[in-house]
Structure 1
Amino acid sequence: MGLDLLDQEPVKAGAEYDAEQAPVGAADVVFDKGEVDQVVTDQVGGSALFASRFRECAARALLLPRRNPGRRTPLWQQRQRASQLLQVAGEFGSFPIVLEAVRECLQDVFDVPGLAELMGDLESRRVRLVEVTTPEPSPFARSLLFGYVAQFLYEGDSPLAERRAAALSLDSRLLAELLGQAELRELLDAEVLTELERELQWLTEDRRVKDAEGVADLLRLLGPLTEAELAERGAEPQWARELASARRAIRVRIAGADHWAAVEDAGRLRDALGTALPVGVPEAFTEPVKDPLGDLLARYARTHGPFTSATAAARFGLGVAVTEGALQRLSAAGRIVQGEFHPAGIGQEWCDAAVLRRLRRRSLAALRHELEPVPPARARPVPPPVAAHRARGTPCAASTAWCAPSSSCRAPPCPRPPWRSWSCRPG
């Protein structure tokens, strides 16, 4: 069983597409158009194809010197030297040879722009995907299968050193410029972003706090909050004090303001921000962690929309350079992404990867809602002045015709040329 691209049938204009009648399993292979590039890029980084393309690009750039220029270097030596170069270049996402190798894989080999265009046609329902089962592949699928076997015949036999590109971190900004991709700032919806930020910050009506346990959940999920921020989410002042008396919350000072924080964050706040802890914090909550500042910034990204380094630095009372370095480490680990996201923003911003995916999907849903057809009664509304005069049976300056009330008109309506005035009379 396979999916044959030749079996995709275009949807005729005016025809309705019934999603319930779609073949079962066909929607499982369709990706969001905005996620195709990132998904393929992540998978290509750890493939043998990328390792071979990187070796070819490095050889063309004369980065793999030969011991004897008059003799050909064996393939195993080329692989070894290319893997050693990749170990060094993998620490720099803007290395030109790495970007060129990724560009060849995405455009010359896989044609990712064509794939993204096809996914867009599937989303807009201009193309219908039909899942069929055939005893043998079609001529088109057979050629694809032959090319795949010829390209990846020895992929399983490739040395492990060529697969170390999985830990490679690419500079997404330079890669987007190289591939000619548009920034998401031009595509995301501002109203959707505002609504999502309110949900992430627990500011909606369905997420208002109702008791002290809700305050504990707030401090654990959102991080340290001031009394004003707790009150904005429906919390009473005595609920935080009840948690403090039970040693489940502590009162600390961050960026010159008093905050309530969960007792589990005591060690992170002390090591990352230098916050003075109150007396009586259990020793189990003051043990050092691996990356305290990274944990605080990662949680901040999960509970906010796109933000700048200066905004995060002001929130925790840190310097912009220190915050920028911690965000770069999180970006290298794939936990956050950098780019131009906010519709009203300027410059580079940061955003959690999961939050960005939700923002993309909701913006796409909002755009689809705007493009939905309206009922015929709403498609061509009658202007109010004309409708009022028609009801009274009097002429109107905004209309080129005079018509009596429809209740007294027995003749069927007839077309009215713009150069003549028509009157519809009884009988």
Structure 2
Amino acid sequence: FPLDEVFRYLNSETVRDLLVQALLDAPMFTIRWRWNATRSLAVPRFRGGAKIAAPLQRMESENLLAAVFPDQLACLEHIVGDREIPDHPLVKQTIEDCLTEAMDIDGLEEVLRRIERGEIRCIARDLPEPSPLAAEILNARPYAFLDNAPLEERRTQAVYTRRASERNGSDGLGVLDAAAIEKVKAEAWPAATSADELHDALMLIGVMTCEELQRTSNGESHASNGAVSAHFLQELVASHRATQLQIGHKLFVIAAERLPMLRAIYPNAVCEPELVLPDSMHGKTWERTDAIRELVRGRMEVCGPITISELTDVLVLEHSEIDAALLALESEGFVLRGKFHPDTAEQEWCDRGLLAQIHRLTIVRLRAEIQPVSIHDFYRFLFAWQRADQEHRTEGLEGLQSILEQLDGCELPLAAWESAVLPARVADYDPEWLDRLCFSGRVGWGRLSTPQNSNARASAPLRTSPIALYLRENLADWLALTLPNSATELSVNSQAVFEALQSGGALFFSELVNRSGLLPSQVEEALSQLAALGLVTSDSFDGLRALLIPSNKRPTFGRNTAKHRRRANLASIEFAGRWSLLPRSSCFSAAIDAANGAHTREVAIEKFARVLLRRYGIVFRRSLERESFPITWYELGRIYRRLEARGEIRGGYFVGGVSGEQFALPEAIGLLRSIRKSSSNRELITLSAADPLNLQGILTPGARIPAFTANRILFRDGLPIAALESRDIRKLLEGQIPDLQIENALRIGKLRPSLRPYYK
């Protein structure tokens, strides 16, 4: 369609109404609606002297919106035409805030009026890749699109945009090696050792200057004095297989078979000596554009990266003619454009096959630059990469989120998360931070792996059950990687709670008690069993903490004595938010099957490959030993090799003593080098054996230390020197530090007082 039609899609007279209809589905409308409802006191913030929880305020604001503006929450399939805006002050105020504060509707209308009056000139261009502004739209957040996120992701991936690292990256990953370019160019140019080979070269290239002719005949056994090339050319001219073509001020050597094509390009060229071609060579009538395209094609096969200006000088053609020929070859997939030389400013073109060879040689050079580090230096790197040492430890809510992004989808015993793993990485860890991330919808929890024992009554207790913290946006990918859930035998109470959640959706604890007809203590026991089996989750992590409290210490429902008020300071399952089924249950099977079109195993494996890189910085086959997903290194290796070819990661030999392929993030290589060059600070680091950094027996020789929360490992300078197993201390290296210091480091914990009731 004509590109300039796009500029007439919006009209200044109707854009306000269109924008109002569009913003009703945008997140800013619901956010500003809650703000207006709260400040107008339509939704109270306090009740009975206590502050109302934010999730409850959101629910009340949604109920108010459903009462005054039901079309906003209704399914669009049931609405014909535009949604009718009600005459309600809060709705009008919210729309006005969206139009004038979040957006500039007056400015938009003025721009459209100026376009209609011709004061602003609009220019449409058909380009092979999006402009920076268009790329910004394509890479927008999922809520910027009306279709679902997987479709938006596929559309974004279908459009190629240059990465910043291709030219200006400080690590140089996206820039091709200049030596590799020169080597490929030298190898691609034909070397003729006989008259027949020179004729083949002329047929391939089309036209060749005298300087190029001398370069062609410089084989390994010939001197570079031009005598050999002249001898071969004389043989071809004498047999009427070649001639010289005078084009302007340049003299070219051509093969006789190429003369009809070159006549179409250079009609005024003069042959010296003149050739009389047989009728068999006049069979095809060449169009000038086709002839130029084939001439450029032959040149691109042997010249490597080259600019249009250089081709114009060599072939004595107009810039526009060369440009049109290259665009035609690009549409065939024969050539690619880019900036391939590290020091070039002009756009270059290169044959696809030659560019692939340059990429391979560049990767070989990058891999050769890296010197492997020892295992104990790699351990020091891992402590810094995962913020487990004192120098790199993070802090605060944002620091906790960055740690959870690293550990996304990692399954650990439930008791290990807040008693050992998170406090080891986040200074002054506060459990309220994790609850805030869960309530905000950024983080969720649940068991992702399928229980090996189908008998629920024989399953492990919740405290030792593998529980993962994951980014909610990745949940569909992680579930696509898990094995199908086998039939599980549930207790009577667990089955009742499961069916209540299956029929009622997400429910608060009090609603679960009412729907199931069970006692609160029975519902707690059922939720503990369902959570251990990976069937349920809740809005916050507080629900899991509440299930870890012994039954004789839990707050009693409906009691208000001083004793029970003291117990109320502990986590209560009533304040854990809503409980819901993880979408792996049978009731969600249809939804999962429908989503599998977008969340295929291949897409999920690539997501996992990137997360594994983010978790360890450097990955290899042994990195999968602590992972619960059934993924093979063969599947990951294909993805990592593809990312390496794109220049996003680097392959090489980074860690000594580890066999097989290794891949690393660019920023990880810089940290690894700095760790290797720096002197050790002799810091003692104590980790739980359930920590993801327990690679004893995987990276180091000797038996593995069981990944139980109570087991602990003591490190110094990246070396494991002692371990606490089954309450007994075992030295792994002798003569490192005094026994008393080892005893104190392994036995004395630093658990936050507010967490002791749950994890002691």
The structure with the largest alpha-carbon Rg is 2
More contact order relative to length (CA 8 Å, sep ≥ 6): 1
What range is the shorter-chain TM-score in? 0.3 to 0.5
TM-score w.r.t. structure 2 length? 0.27
TM-score w.r.t. structure 1 length? 0.46
